[in-house]
A = this chain, B = another copy of it.
Amino acid sequence: MNDVSKNFSELLSLRAAEIEAVLERLLSPSPAGEEIIRPPKLLAAMRHGVLNGGKRIRPFLVIEAARIFDADREAALATGAALELIHCYSLIHDDLPAMDDDELRRGKPTVHVAFDEATAILAGDSLLTLAFDVLARPQNGLDDTRKAALVFGLAQAAGIGGMAGGQGLDLDAEISAPDEAGIIRLQSMKTGALLRYACEAGAIVGNAVEEERDRLKRFGEMIGLAFQLADDLLDVTSDASQMGKATGKDAARGKGTLVGLHGVEWARNRLDGLVGEACVLLEPFGNRADTLRQTACFIASRES
């Protein structure tokens, strides 16, 4: 590991710890300013699904994109945490028996295994709802204009036109395999939409002008494609102990991936190309965008 990647991975850990602290506060038994004591079992299931030592790559993107514009730190953390709540809810619901039927997530029992199906469904619903609560609540460091823009952007990225719609296409894909354009569309919605939003949200938090915001959104688009390609590569090249979850499942179910269509070597070349394209988009920001450049490389080369 060279100095740059060592420093990068230290920064990633630091940001993950910062987000973990925010998530811990958001999921405390009696949060500040609320009289109600939260139903203990439901809260425990939400905590199980969220406070699990994830890399927090989406909040990391929000925070580092916001830092380009010297944004308010509290506001960036709140926005990153909201996005992570959405990501975690989607994992809980995706793991359900009716969906991917996974029993392990990061080497631990999934929420419906540790609790029960009804509680896992409700925990997901509650986390999804909490994300919008966090973005819109008073005193989160955001003015009303940015609150409205962030809520709208998150709802678009997570809903039927984004992540949830992608998951819907994924269910259909188990019945009839999509062609290349279909695979790209599915992945761009299912995985890409939240990564794209992460980068755009950082720009919104930082009050970036429209051109800058659009640039970061396109950067997010590129690394979303890279993220999915790296994931598909890992699915064929790694084993379950490295991933902390079942692997090779996509291929086993006959779901198409670009790696499956074009092979491992093509995918590695394409990954390099995507990282290059992503970095070109960051040129106007000079060295203020160095961390985002490193993130693009990290996403393309990750091993778990």
Contacts and interface: CB of A to CB of B under 8 A. Distances in A.
A168 B132 contact: no
A9 to B, nearest CB: 33
Contact of A93 (B99, B125, B136): B125
Interface in A137-170: 137-138, 143-145, 147-149, 151-152, 154-156, 158-161, 164-165, 167-169
A41 interface: yes
Q: How many interface residues does chain A have, given as a range?
A: 35 or more
Interface stretch (A114-122, A250-258, A288-296): A114-122
Interface stretch (A31-39, A195-203, A278-286): A31-39
Contacts of A130: 155, 159-160
A98 interface: yes
A132 B164 CA distance: 14
A153 to B, nearest CB: 9
Given A128-B128, A147-B147, A165 B42 contact: yes
A89 to B, nearest CB: 8
A129 interface: yes
A98 B118 contact: yes
A122 B168 contact: yes
Interface of A: 34, 36, 38-39, 41-43, 46, 89, 93, 96, 98-99, 116-119, 121-122, 124-126, 128-130, 132-133, 135-138, 143-145, 147-149, 151-152, 154-156, 158-161, 164-165, 167-169, 171-172, 189
Instruction: In the A-B complex, list the 10 residue pairs whose CB atoms are closest, starting with the nearest.
Output: A42-B168, A133-B155, A98-B117, A129-B159, A136-B151, A136-B152, A39-B168, A144-B144, A147-B148, A126-B160
29 contacts: A36-B189, A38-B160, A39-B165, A41-B168, A42-B160, A42-B164, A42-B165, A93-B121, A93-B125, A96-B118, A98-B121, A119-B168, A119-B171, A121-B121, A125-B164, A126-B160, A128-B128, A129-B155, A129-B160, A129-B164, A130-B155, A132-B132, A132-B154, A133-B156, A133-B159, A136-B152, A144-B144, A144-B148, A147-B148
